[in-house]
Structure formats: structure tokens, C-alpha cells
A and B are shown apart, each in its own frame.
Chain A
């Protein structure tokens, strides 16, 4: 068990005024087994009454429609979360997590990789995920800026380099090929910098957090924000703008352990 304090802020500056702006944010940590929200504060500028909603994955959405002109959009989220081991029981598994998505489809390269490592897939899905993780780390290196938000698992593997999103997508692709249900997680880790992404593997009636980028199980140092089939389901900020011109985005994140 741990108590984590976090602050997250995102700011987008626009080169031209925005006249209409609809947004959907997935920026609030989830309440689930072994993760409890003790305190939470969300501030969005331009200020307005926030609307809460949810999606098909059970994530919390903050939505709004701004019709006042603005040149800047900021989101500040801060709070305190009690965390523990990343094991979330779920008896009613949605089979959708067993099937590949656009980001996690296996092409020739992933198929080859899968064929090389599949011998010895154990009955323990978490073990298998860790085994796949080691194989991934032997095939790609971490390099920030080496891929983009539209890079698929197959492309990242061909590229030989990637970030947490790519490590996670490749792991999801391999696990699904092995018939193991798994999902994408966006969240935060103790430290400073940006949000993080990892994977949850379904085993024995529970979801287990596995972080392929850091080659470890997710633990009390991790806070879950949202889950989905892949990156596309977990966008932190999805917006629809009229006007705005060029955008400059800055993100700040700090998570400390008490």
C-alpha cells in the first residue's frame, strides 16, 4: 500500500483564436480494486461547468463545449490516490480484448517474432507477458520521438525503436496472437515527466499490470487513468476546434510518494 500525490497539467496555446471547442478528457484516475481516490481536483480553462460521462470501457470522461473565444486551453488535475498491487478482479471478461485492433494487428514482422518466441508459452499469462517483454526489449530500444501517435505495433517493431506506447502495442499484439486477453493502460508513475502507458493481462479472473517499457510488474508506484483496447481508446484529450491555427502543447506531471 502507498499514498501518492499527483499533479498533472496540460496547456495548449493556439496561434489563432478558437471560436468553438468541444473536448473529451480522460484525465481522472479510475476508482478500482487496489486504487482509491482520496482527493481529486480538476480545473479547466476557459472555465465552465464540467460535465462527467463514461465510455464503454468504464473510463471517466470530462466533457464540455466552449463557445467563448480563447487562445489557450489548460487542464489541471491534482489529487491523492491510495495504491496497491495492480491486480483487478473481473469475472465477466469482455471477449473483445482477445482480438487485434488497427494498432495491434500482426504483420509479417510481428508474426516472425511470435513464431520465434512462442515455444514455451506457459499457462500463466503474466509469465508469458514477461517473457514476451524480454523479447520485445531485445528487438527495440527506447528512444523518445522515434515514433508518433499513429505508429502501429508492426511499424514500431520494423523501426527498431519506440516509446512506452509502442512497447505496449507490441506486447498487446503478441499476447492477442497467443489468445491471451489484454488491454492498454494509460496512467502515471512516481516521478516527473509525462504520462505513461503499460499493459494489463487477464489471468485467473483478474487483470495484472505489466509494464513492458520498464520490464516489471505495475505496482503501488503506478496510478491508472484509463484503459482500452489500444492507444486510440485512451486519448487524454480529444478535441474538435473551429479556428485555432497552430497548436503548441506542454505537459507537466509530478507524482510523489508520501
Chain B
């Protein structure tokens, strides 16, 4: 492995060469930044990954059933497993999707499940991302370059190849395709994940489209071809948020959308990947109920654990949160991407008081979690070994059955004491090795 680590700088140069960047807006100016790569991999043994794989499949299976249930029969609400306000009184539920069942019943084609490993070596799920989870392209291209940089490392270690992500994605698209071409739809150059959009289009062999290339006629989605002819589209891997996807249904001021694409979707004429309306399952309030959901829908014990979570919505939890606020992390359910996360230990007494008031006033808006003692990962920084907090985004692709990609995006924090590992907040990434033996 040292043969790999000594080439860290060259690998980073190669990543720059291939334009592996993500964009951020700072003071309204768009800038592309390189995503620093640390060559020390996160290594997951076969047994450990088998366990994660079973747990992730189970979780995603239940979430898919949940989404269908919420937009059709609502049985889990009627049976009072989840209080209705956590679904129908929350921003994540989209009435525009009520009654719409996507091709082959798949809602979450690509799920990004964020996990952390505690220093007790147990894995905890922190978040389910079922809207447009990003990040698979980074470890995928990094692996390609690492193999070039240090072939011996990969001869000596039995690492499962992760460069099949494009194939897995294509299979997922093909499975739900309603007859027509596959399209990767990007909002454009100035999206933070534009590199990934274009790279995945290349790796899946799908047509790379911008909104103006697509149009709907007679509830059918078409791609406008240069030759003047039109090609029917059967599946859209869209990297545009629901709100902006169709100005006729959602935000009328969206210039990034395709008018009437929701009509084509509701008519069953095109698969939207992921399905619109998934935000209801992403909700941090719903996260609390995923273990209960697994028992309810699958009749199984949940394999993966959530981080210990409290809902101030319940009086017992409210009391616990108010009494222990200084050792908890408080999250605003409406925020994502590392925003709206507050560590009680970092607050002044005055701020603690304000936060308590707010939680009492808007109980539904917050969840509280025990701070997990991370198992820190080793990184090499300026030639010296040190440690960082890191998480793991696992990718589960659902076609006929959920398939777990044998890798994942490991992100680490910018400095040693920071708990926030989101790429939009600084920090870097690692390759994730899954061993085959």
C-alpha cells in the first residue's frame, strides 16, 4: 500500500487532468474546486461488507415500499406506525406525486446511505439520501488512477473492482426504461456536480442532455435531435431537484425544467430516476422511523442501527433532549448538506436557552442525536500521518432487486476536530476498498 501512498500527489494531478472537480457558490460567484484525494483507502473486510450489504439492501427495500405506500394506500399511517404529521404535514411529501406509481414500482433507483463507524467499530446509519445522491464518480475514477499508479498494490490486495458503477447504473435505467433511450439530464455547467453528471453519462453510454434538449408531446418525452428528428426517451437519470424539474407542476420560475415532464411520468410513459416525491423518505423525522418501517413492511429485525435519535415530538424524548442538550447534536429536519446541524457542546449558555425555547415551540422541526465517537481514519497530510473524522456513503442501486455497489464514497473532514464531512464544507475523499476474501 505504501507504493500507492507515495504517488498521492501524482494521483491528485491526474484527477485534475480529468477535471474531477465540484463547483461551489461563494458570494454568488461560481468556482470549481478540486476534491482533495487521500490515497490511504478505507478498507472493509469481506465479512464486514457482507453485513453492511445485507443491512443496506433491507433498508432500501423497506424505503421503496414505504414510498409506494405513502403515495397510494398509506397503510403504515393507518396502522399508526408513523404519525401522519411526519408525512403529510411535512415539506417532503409532494401532493403532485399522489397516486403516481413509477415504472416497475421503483422509487429509489439510486440510494445514497450515509454511515459512520463508531470507535466501538459498530456502524450507524446517519442519513438516507433518496433524492439525487451524488458522489459515486469520485471513488470510481480514483480507483482507475490508483491502479495505474501502483499496480503492485492491487496485485497484493484482493480488492473488488468498483469500476462497474456505470454498468450497475445502466442496468438500473434499463430495468425501468419504458421504451426509448436513456438520458442523463443535467441542469448545466454551473451545477456543483457537473463533472459527475458528464462522467456518468459517458460511463453509462446514456445521452447527455440539458433541459432544452427535451420536450413533451402527448404525454411522451422526446429528445430533440440535431437531424431534426425526435427520439423517444424511456428513462431519465435526472440530476435536477423535484422543485425545478417541471415548471408546469412545480416552481413556475424554473428555467432548468422540462415542461409537462410530470404528465409524461404520471401517464407511465417515462421513468424518472429517482422518482419525484422521494423527499418524504429523506426527511430527518422519517429517518427515526426506518427501523420500525423495516419491521412493519418486511417482518424482519433491522440489521443496521440508526444513531441513537430522539424526537422532541414525543414527551419523553423532549424531556431527555432538554435535560441533555449539551451532549447532543441537534438537527433541523428541513436542512441538508451539513447545514442546520448544531452541537450542544459548542453553544453558549444563552444559545442553549434559545435553542431549548425553539425546540419546545417547534418540536416537529428538530431531531436530536447522541454524538457518535467516530472511529477516525488515517490520512497523510503533507507527508505526515494523522487522523480525521470520516463517513461512508454507500450506494444501493435498485432494479429488480437492490444491489449494493462494492465500494462507496469515504469523505473526511477538513481538520482534525471537525465532525462535518460534507464536501460542500471542505475536506477530501478516499477510495473505499471492499476485500473479496
Contact = CB atoms under 8 A, between A and B. Distances in A.
A23 B218 CA distance: 12
B87 to A, nearest CB: 8
B96 interface: yes
A96 B86 CA distance: 11
Interface in B133-170: none
Contact of B93 (A54, A92, A96, A98): A96
A120 interface: no
Contacts of A65: 215-217, 259-260
A229 B93 CA distance: 13
A51 B220 CA distance: 10
Interface stretch (A55-63, A147-155, A196-204): A55-63
Contacts of A240: 247-248, 252, 259
A114 interface: no
Interface string A5-29: 0000000000000000011100000
A145 interface: no
Given A53-B219, A99-B85, A63 B98 contact: no
A72 interface: no
Q: SS class of chain B's interface: helix, strand, loop or mixed?
A: loop
Contact of A95 (B84, B99, B217): B84
A63 B260 contact: yes
A248 interface: no
Given A63-B248, A99-B88, A238-B248, 16 more contacts: A24-B249, A24-B263, A53-B267, A55-B96, A55-B249, A56-B94, A56-B100, A63-B219, A63-B260, A65-B259, A94-B74, A94-B95, A95-B87, A96-B95, A238-B252, A240-B259
Interface string A86-99: 00000010111011
Contacts of A49: 218
B247 A95 contact: no
Contacts of B94: 56
A76 interface: no
Contacts of B249: 24, 55
A95 B89 CA distance: 8
A194 interface: no
Contact of A99 (B89, B97, B216, B248): B89
Interface of A: 22-24, 49, 51, 53-58, 61, 63, 65, 92, 94-96, 98-99, 228-229, 233, 238, 240
A57 B98 contact: yes
Interface string B232-258: 000000000000000111001000000
Contacts of A23: 248
B77 A63 contact: no
Given A24-B248, A65-B216, A95-B77, A56 B259 contact: no
Given A24-B248, A51-B218, A65-B216, A56 B263 contact: no
Contact of B263 (A53, A92, A229): A53
Interface of B: 73-74, 77, 84-85, 87-89, 93-100, 215-219, 247-249, 252, 259-260, 263, 266-267
B88 A96 contact: yes
A13 to B, nearest CB: 21
Given A51-B263, A63-B263, A56 B95 contact: yes
14 contacts: A24-B260, A51-B263, A53-B266, A55-B249, A57-B95, A63-B260, A65-B216, A92-B73, A94-B98, A95-B89, A98-B88, A229-B95, A238-B252, A240-B259
A57 B95 CA distance: 8
Contact of B88 (A56, A57, A94): A94
Nearest to A238: B248
Nearest to A65: B217
